[in-house]
Structure 1
Amino acid sequence: MRAPLSWLREYVDLPAGETGRDVQAKLIAAGLEVERVEQLGSDITGPLVVGKVATIEELEGFRKPIRFCTVDVGQANGTGEPQEIVCGARNFTAGDKVVVALPGAVLPGDFAIAERKTYGKVSRGMICSGDELGMGDDGTHGIIVLSPEHEVGTDAIELLQLVDEVLDIAVTPDRGYCLSLRGIAREAATAYGLPLRDPALLDVPAPNSYGHPVTVADPSGCDRFTARTVTGIDPEARSPIWLQRRLQKAGMRPVSLTVDITNYVMLELGQPLHAYDRSRLDGAIGVRRAEPGEKLTTLDGTKRVLDAEDLVITDQRGPIGLAGIMGGADTEIADHGAAQGSTEVVIEAAHFDPVAIARAARRHKLSSEASRRFERGVDPQATSAAAQRAVDLLVLLAGGTAEAGVTEVVAPSGPRTIPMRADHPDRVAGVEYGRETVVRRLQEVGCDVYGQDELIVTVPSWRPDLTDPNDLAEEVIRLEGYAALPATLPKPPAGRGLTHRQRLHRRTGRALAGAGYTEVLNYPFIGDWALDHLGLEADDARRSTVRLANPLSEAEPALRTTLLPGLFAALRRNDSRGEHDLALFETGLVFLPTGEETNPVRLPVDRRPTDEEVAGLNAALPRQPRHAAVVLAGAAERDGWWGKGRPATWAEAIEAARTVAREAGVELIVRQDQQAPFHPGRCAALFVATGGEEVRVGGAGELHPRVVKAFGLPERTCAMEIDLDVLERAGTGAVQAPKVSAFPVATQDVALVVDASVAARDVEAALRAGAGELLESLRLFDVFTGAQLGAGKKSLAYALRFRAADRTLTADEASAAREAAVQAAVERTGAVLRGA
C-alpha cells in the first residue's frame, strides 16, 4: 500500500517538520512494515509553468511529424512574449493548456532544459508529458492537457503536486485495514498521540424502499449490500488533477471519472466499490452462488466458466460480476470525455465473505485490488459511508444528482466480544503495564472496554483479526513498543544434547560430504506426475500421499514419499548448466500416511497444551521417517595425467549406502532385486538384521532407462535411498573406533569356483564362519568367468587377513584357519577350490 504523506496529513495533524522518514520510524515502531519512503519530485526544479498553445506550424521534410509551436506562458519567461518550442507530440491543439518546462528547468533523470537548435528551429523549452515529469502512468502517454480554468504562468510543480513523499507499506495479512489511508492514518494518529479525523464519519441517509432493488440469496456470502444511484452525470466530465495525482501516487492509473472515484474511495476508506451503468442493468441486482457451468465475461475481456462456490452479482439476465473481484463487461461504465459516456450510475458497496473471495480469486487466477482487501477483511460498517462518499464526489465533480433512494440489505449480527484478564498482556510480555495502560491502548485501537480485573473487550468492526486474548495482548505490546520488552536469554535444563536421531543425521551428512557428495535441499512436495515417471506400480506404498489443503503449486500438491524426484531435478538443473560429473545427496523427512490418522485437534492459544492434546495432534500426523538419498552421474574419477578415469556405476550407489550404515554401526545386507525406479539387472535391495530378522531399509542401483528419459537425466544415472530411522533402531548407537594391534597380520588368498547363481555374500558368510575368531577381515578382490571354468560357473577370489590379539600367528595357524574357512564354504555353497 502506497500512502502519500500529503494525503495522510488530511486526516492527522502531523507536526509540520515531520518528514516521511520520521513517520516511517514511528509506524515501524508500531508494528507496520514500511519498506521505503519514495521522494517524489526531489529531482525537479523550475521554471515549470502552465502555458497556452497559441500557434502550431507543421514542419515538413523530416522522418517523423514535427511541430513548431508558440506557447503563451505569461510573465514566467520574463518577457511576456510567446515561447517558441519544437515538439513531436500530436495529442494537443491550438488553444490547449499545457505544462511547459522553460530553459533552466531540470526534469527527472537530471534532464536539463536549455535553448537549442533542432529541425532548423530554435526550441526554447519543452512541452511536457506525464512520463517526463515522473507522474506515473496516466493512461495516455502523451502531452499533459490541462483544464481550461488554469491560468497561464501558474507554477505547474505545485499545481500537479509533483513534490511529495510516499510511504510504501508491506501490509501483512492480519492488517487488512491498513490497505487504506483511513487505516494508516489511524496507526499514525495512535503513534503520535494525535486525534484522527475519520473520513468514514459522514451523514448517511436512512435506508428506504425507493432505491435500486437488491436481493441477497446467500447472506453467509454477503452480509451487507448498499446501493445508491446518481443521475444526470456529465458524460464529458474528467477527473480533476488532485484526484488523478492521488491515484497515481498510490500506484493506480486514472481511467475515467466514475471509475477514478470508486478507486479513490477504496484507497481512502478501504471499502471496494463497483459502479454499474444503470442503462445496462436489467432489473434488480442479486447476490447468489453461481450455477455450475454459468459463464461470465469480466472487465479484462476474459470469458470465465463459473464454479458452484463462486459468489456472483446478477440481474435478470444472469451473472454481471464476480463478487468482490471484478465486474462484468455487460454493465461496464462507458468512458467519460465522450458524448456517449454513462450518465446514470448505480454504486455498489458490499461486504463479502473473505474465504469465498480468496478461493474464487485463486480458482480463477484473478487477483484484483478489491479481492486483496476483501480476503484480508473489510470493515462491514463502512459500506454506507463509502457509498455516500462516492455519491458526494459524483455530485461534486460530475454534476450529478443523488437520487433519494437508499437500498441497504443487512444480515443480523452482533458485536464481537473477547473476555480477557486485565493483567494478561503483562503475563505475555513479562512487563507490568497495569490496567490503565491496557485499557487506554485497546481504546486507541478502537475497542470498547468494560470491567476491572476481568475485562470484556468489544472489537471494532475493522479489526477481524482480533479473535483471542493474545491478539489483544499483542496490540498493547506493539503500541507500548517492542523496544521496551526486556531481553532475556532462555534457560534450558542442563544435560540435554542431541538425540541419537539427530546425531546420526549429522554424522550421515558429514560422511557423505567426506565421500565427495554435495548436499542439496529441496522442497518437500511432489506430484502424481513424478510418481508416474518413477514407474511405480499402482499398489506401491509410495503412491499413497498426504494432500495439502493449500499447495504452493498445483503441479506438486502432496508431501513427498521419496527424496529421489527432488534430487533428480537438482541433478538435471546442474547438468543443463554444464556440470556433468555430479554426486548429490539429501537427508530429510518423507511423509507416509498409514490410514489411521485422526482428525486434527485445535490447540488453545491462551495456555500450554496438555499432553493429551499434543498426543491427539500427533495422532493426526502421518508417519515421518528420515531418509538419506544420493544420485550420481558422469565420472566417479576423471581422466588425467595420472591415468584413465572411470564412470560412476551402481557400485558407488551401494557403497554410499554402506557409508551411511557404518555411521549407524550397522552391517548392511545387500541382495539383488527388481524394483522401480531401478534397472532390473542393476538393482540392489538393502537390509539390516534386527530382532532376529532382516528388515528392508532401502534400495540402490542404476536407474531404469525409462526413468532416466522421463526425468531428463544423463545416461546411466545411479541412485540410492535408505531409511535412517530403521538404521538408528538397528544400530549400536555409537561408532566403534578401530583397534590397532602390535602383532603382524597374516594374509592368505583363496579362489573358489561356485555356480553363477550363488551370491558372493553367501560365500563370504561361509568363509567368516569357518575362519573363526582369528579372521580380522576379508575382501573380494576379483570375479572371473570364462570357458575354462565351465558354463554357469564363476570364480570368486578373496583376501583373508588373520591376526591374534595376544601373539604372532605361525604359518601353520594361518593355514589351518584358511583351510577351515574353505571347508565351510565348500559345505555351505558347494564351492570348489580353484586349481585343486
Structure 2
Amino acid sequence: MRVPFSWLKEYVPELESAEVLEERLAGLGFETDRMERVFHIPGGVVFARVLEAHPIPGTGLKRLLLDAGQAVEVVSGAPNARPGVGVALALPGTEVNGLRIGEKTIQGVRSFGMALSPKELGVGEYGGGLLEFPPDALPAGTPLAEAWPEEVVLDIEVTPNRPDALGILGLALDLHALGYSLVLPEVRLETENVPIPFGLRVEDPKGAPHFTLSYAFGLQVGPSPLWLQRILFACGMRPISNVVDITNYVMLERAQPMHAFDLRFLGEGIRVRRARPGERLRTLDGVERELHPEDLVIAGYRREESFPIGLAGVMGGAESEVREDTQAIALEVALFDPVAIRKTARRHGLRTEASYRFERGVDPLGQLPAAQRALALLQEIAGAKVAEGFLEAGNPKAPDPIPFRPDYANRLLGTQYPEGEQLAILKRLGCQVAGEGPYQVTPPSRRLDLRLEEDLVEEVARIQGYDTIPLALPAFFPAPDNRGVERPYQRERRLREVLAGLGFQEVYTYSFTDPAKAPLFRLPPPPWRLQNPLSPERSALRTHLFPGLLEALRENLALDRPARALLFEVGRVFGKEGDQVVEATHLAGLLFGEGVGLPHGEKLSGFPLLKGYLEAFLEQLGLGLRVEAHPFPFLHPGVSGKVLVEGEARGFLGQLHPEVQRALELPPVWLFELTLPLPEPAFRFQDPSRYPLALRDLAVVVPQSVPYGAVEEVIRQAAGPYLEGFALFDLYQGAPLPEGRKSLAFHLRFRHPQRTLTDEEVDQAVASVVQALRERGWDIRA
C-alpha cells in the first residue's frame, strides 16, 4: 500500500519526518518495502488554460491556444484537448523526462512548447491524453511545482489480519494510539428533502450483508482539483473525473470501496443478486465478460426485466459509468461477503483496489460514514445536491464486548505494565472500556482482528513496543497444568525427541489430499472436501498420515537412492461422526532398508526391525507394546498387525500392500501409525534408600550365538533378592578369547532395603551367580 507522507500528516500533524514514520510503522507491525520521492516537476512547467482548440485538417492533431500568463500556441494530438480545461505546459527550453522541449513547426503550425500527459510529466503511468485540471485551479502561468511539490511515498506491507490499515485513516488511528494527536476530517453535509427516484432490492443477503444507496444530483462533472489528483497519483491511481476520483479518495482514506452509477442507466433501481446463466457484462476495462451463476452482480431493473450493471465488489459496468454529462448518481457503499468477492475476482482474472479490500474484509459499520464523507466532497467539489434520506438493506451487528484482565496481560507477556496505561492504550485505539475485574472492552468495528482477550493483550504489547517485553520466557510458560499433567504440545515434543534420538527424520506433509488417490492407497473416500481448494490435488482433508510419508519417500527416491530411510510425522487427521468433523492427532512412521550396528553384527530389516524401533520408542516413554495379527486393507495380508499400547488398541504395524507398492513404484516399505495421545505410564515413586550400595563387576565368556537375554535371565535368577539392578558396560571379541566367543561385562548393584549388607553376604550372592553361569558351561574372566 502506497502512503503519501503529506497526506498522512494531515491527520497526524505531529509526524516528524518520513524516516521517523517508517520507524513508527515498523514498530506497529507495518514494514516499509521501499521509500521513494516522486513529483520532480521541472521549473519550466506552468499551469495554462485552453482557450481554443482547432483541428488541423488532414491530421489527428489540434492547434491549441493557451493562456499561460500570455497567449501561447501549441500543437497536440491528445484526444481530450478541448477548450475550458487546465493543462500542464512545458515551455521551450524545459527538460522533461530527458526530453528537451523547444519551438518547432508541426504541420505548418508553430508550436511553442508542449502540453503534457501524466506520463510525460512523470506523475503517473497514463500517456493516452493530457493531464487535466479545473480551469481555475491556479493563476495562468504559475509554475506547477509551486502547487505540486515533491512528495515522499512509503510503500508498506499490510498483513492480512489488518484490512483497516488499507486506509490512511486506519494508519492514523494506530499512530494516535502511540500518543500522536489526531485530526479527523470534518464532514459538512447539507441535505435536501427530496424523494429518492430509485428502489433497492437485495436478493442475496448472504452475499451483501449491508448495502446502502444515496442520491446525489445537480452534479458538474469535470477534472478534480489539483490537491485531489496529486494524492491519487501518489497512491498509484489515475484521476478520471471529480466524481470518480472522490469515490477512490474515500476508499483510500477509509478502506471502504464504493461506486457511483449514472442514474440514467439504472431503470427503476438496483437489485443485488447472483448472475443468471448466459448473462454478459462489459466492465469498465472494456472487456465483455460472460458471468458465472455464482457471481454477485449489481443489476438495474425495469418492471420485471433485470440487467447487470456491475460486478459486485470488483468492477463496475461500462454502460452505467459516470460520464462528462452525468448529472445524477446513485452512490453504492456496501459490505460484501469476502469469499464471494475473492471467487468472482479469481474467475474473471480481475484484481482491483476494491476487490483487494473486500476480500480482506471491510468495517461492517463503516458504510454510512463513508457515504457521508463522499457526499460531502461531492457537494464541495462537484456542486452536488444530496437527498436527505438513503436506501439501506441489512443490519450489521456491532462487535461483542471482550473480557480483559490487565493482570492476565502482564502474566502472558511477562511484563509489569500499569493497569491505567493498558486501558489508555485500548481507548486510544478506539475501544470502549466498561466495568472492572474483568473489564468489558468493545473493539471498534473496523478492527476485524480483535475477537479474543489475547488479541487485546497483543495490542497492548504492540503499542507499548515489543522491545519493552523481557527477553526471558515467563516462568509459567513451560510448567505443567494444575493437575501435574504435561500439556499436549509438551507430550508431542517429547515424542519427536525420542524418535529423533532413534534415528528417525521428521517430515511435514499437507493436511489436504487428493480424493482421487484414496483407492490407490486402498482407503475409503475422504469424508470432508474443501469448498475453495488451492488445487484439485489438495481438495480434501486427509484421514491418515502414511500416504503423505509414502509420497515423500517416492519423491526423495526419485532424486537419490539412499540405502535406508526412517521417516515420521506428527499431524492432524480428520474423520466423521454423524455430521460432525472429528479431528485427531496421529503419529506415523516409515522404514525402508536394513538396520546396521546390531550387537552380533547381523543386519535386520522389515517387520522385526520396525517393531524393534517401536518397542524402543515406547520403552523410553515407560509404555509396553504388543502386536496382534490383524488385517488392514492397505497392509500386506501376511505382515499386518494391530498395535496395542498398555493393552489399548492404538493403530497398525506392517508392510505396505504389494498392490500399493507396485502402483507407487516403491521398494518394500514397512509402516506404523498410532493415534495420540498415548496412554499415560503408571506413576511410580519409591523413597530413596538410606543404605549404601554394594557394587561388584563380573565378566562372562559365552559363545557368540548366546543372546544377551539368556545371560540376563541366569544372573537375575541366581543373584538373590538383594540384586537391585545391573548394566552391561562392555562387549569384547578377539584375542585372547577363543574364536567364536564373546565377553559380556556387567556392573552388579546390591542393596538391602532395611540395613547395610555385609561383604560376606554380597560375596555369597556373587558366588551363586558364578556357579549358575558355570553350570551353563560359560566361563568367568579373571
Shorter chain as denominator, the TM-score bin is 0.5 to 0.7
After TM superposition, the structure 1 = structure 2 runs for residues 21-420 of structure 1, keeping only pairs within 5 Å, are 21-29=19-27, 31-41=28-38, 46=42, 49-50=45-46, 100=90, 130=118, 135-138=123-126, 140=127, 155-157=143-145, 160-161=148-149, 163-199=150-186, 201-205=187-191, 209-216=195-202, 221-223=208-210, 225-231=212-218, 233-234=220-221, 237-239=222-224, 241-255=226-240, 257-287=242-272, 290=274, 295=279, 297=281, 299=283, 301-307=288-294, 315-316=301-302, 317-318=305-306, 320=308, 325-327=313-315, 329=317, 331-333=319-321, 342-352=326-336, 368-374=352-358, 376-379=360-363, 382-394=366-378, 401-402=384-385, 404=387, 406-409=389-392, 418=401
After TM superposition, the structure 1 = structure 2 runs for residues 403-552 of structure 1, keeping only pairs within 5 Å, are 404=387, 406-409=389-392, 418=401, 430-431=415-416, 433-435=418-420, 437=421, 440-448=424-432, 460-463=444-447, 465-466=449-450, 475-476=459-460, 478-486=462-470, 489-491=473-475, 492=478, 503=494, 505-512=496-503, 520-534=507-521, 536=522, 538=524, 543-545=525-527
Per-residue CA deviation, residues 4-55 of structure 1 (Å, 9 max, x unaligned), is 111112223235xx221212323444x342334512239x58556349999x
How far has the Cα of 1:276 moved from its partner? 1.3
Contact 2:333–2:367 (CA<8 Å) still a contact in 1? yes
Amino acid corresponding to residue 531 of structure 1 in structure 2: A
Q: Counterpart of 2:178 in 1: which secondary structure?
A: helix
TM-aligned CA distance change 1:525 to 1:630, over 3 Å: farther
CA distance in 2, matches of 1:672, 1:803: 41
Contact 1:352–1:374 (CA<8 Å) still a contact in 2? yes
Amino acid corresponding to residue 199 of structure 2 in structure 1: P
How far has the Cα of 1:369 moved from its partner? 3.3
Q: Give 1:826's aligned residue.
A: none
Per-residue CA deviation, residues 675-711 of structure 1 (Å, 9 max, x unaligned), is 5487x8xx8435668779999733335864x7766x6
How far has the Cα of 1:184 moved from its partner? 1.9
Amino acid corresponding to residue 489 of structure 1 in structure 2: L
Aligned with residue 589 of structure 1, among 561, 565, 570: 570
TM-aligned CA distance change 1:506 to 1:114, over 3 Å: farther
The gaps in structure 1 that reach 5 residues or longer are 59-64, 116-123, 600-619, 638-649, 734-739, 750-763, 775-799, 815-836
CA distance in 1, matches of 2:705, 2:395: 94
How far has the Cα of 1:155 moved from its partner? 4.5
CA distance in 1, matches of 2:165, 2:11: 14
Contact 1:276–1:347 (CA<8 Å) still a contact in 2? yes
Q: Give 1:12's aligned residue.
A: 12
Q: Give 2:733's aligned residue.
A: none
Identity across the alignment (%)? 25
Per-residue CA deviation, residues 453-507 of structure 1 (Å, 9 max, x unaligned), is 7866665454455556665555555444444455553335599999887555434
Contact 1:544–1:592 (CA<8 Å) still a contact in 2? no
Contact 1:320–1:327 (CA<8 Å) still a contact in 2? no
Q: Counterpart of 1:532 in 2: which secondary structure?
A: coil
How far has the Cα of 1:176 moved from its partner? 3.0
Contact 2:37–2:153 (CA<8 Å) still a contact in 1? yes
Per-residue CA deviation, residues 557-602 of structure 1 (Å, 9 max, x unaligned), is 44433344434544565567x5465865531235455655897xxx
CA distance in 1, matches of 2:263, 2:189: 25
How far has the Cα of 1:628 moved from its partner? 1.0
Asked whether 1:561 is paired with 2:543, we answer: yes
Q: Give 1:698's aligned residue.
A: 653
Amino acid corresponding to residue 408 of structure 1 in structure 2: L
CA distance in 2, matches of 1:512, 1:657: 14
Q: Counterpart of 2:371 in 1: which secondary structure?
A: helix
TM-aligned CA distance change 1:721 to 1:47, over 3 Å: farther
How far has the Cα of 1:374 moved from its partner? 4.2
Contact 1:687–1:697 (CA<8 Å) still a contact in 2? yes
How far has the Cα of 1:377 moved from its partner? 5.0
CA distance in 1, matches of 2:680, 2:301: 70
Per-residue CA deviation, residues 626-650 of structure 1 (Å, 9 max, x unaligned), is 1112568xx999xxxxxxxxxxxx9
Amino acid corresponding to residue 35 of structure 2 in structure 1: E
TM-score w.r.t. structure 1 length?
0.62
CA distance in 1, matches of 2:539, 2:343: 16
Contact 1:674–1:684 (CA<8 Å) still a contact in 2? no
CA distance in 1, matches of 2:523, 2:400: 55
Per-residue CA deviation, residues 519-578 of structure 1 (Å, 9 max, x unaligned), is 5432232220232333x154xxxx4555568766554244433344434544565567x5
Amino acid corresponding to residue 318 of structure 1 in structure 2: S
Amino acid corresponding to residue 263 of structure 2 in structure 1: R
TM-aligned CA distance change 1:152 to 1:367, over 3 Å: closer
Contact 2:280–2:288 (CA<8 Å) still a contact in 1? no
CA distance in 1, matches of 2:403, 2:773: 83
How far has the Cα of 1:279 moved from its partner? 1.9
Q: Give 2:669's aligned residue.
A: 719
Per-residue CA deviation, residues 102-132 of structure 1 (Å, 9 max, x unaligned), is 989696xxx79899xxxxxxxx999977557
Q: Counterpart of 1:624 in 2: which secondary structure?
A: strand
Contact 2:405–2:439 (CA<8 Å) still a contact in 1? yes
Deviates more, 1:182-191 or 1:348-357: 348-357
Amino acid corresponding to residue 12 of structure 2 in structure 1: V
Per-residue CA deviation, residues 338-387 of structure 1 (Å, 9 max, x unaligned), is xxx64543211234566776787689886643344446554455534433
How far has the Cα of 1:267 moved from its partner? 0.9
TM-aligned CA distance change 1:137 to 1:676, over 3 Å: farther
Contact 2:585–2:676 (CA<8 Å) still a contact in 1? no
Aligned with residue 628 of structure 1, among 561, 564, 589: 589
After TM superposition, the structure 1 = structure 2 runs for residues 656-671 of structure 1, keeping only pairs within 5 Å, are 659=613, 661-664=615-618
CA distance in 2, matches of 1:11, 1:692: 69
Per-residue CA deviation, residues 132-177 of structure 1 (Å, 9 max, x unaligned), is 7664533x3688687877788754555555x322233433455433
Q: CA-atom RMSD, angstroms?
A: 6.0
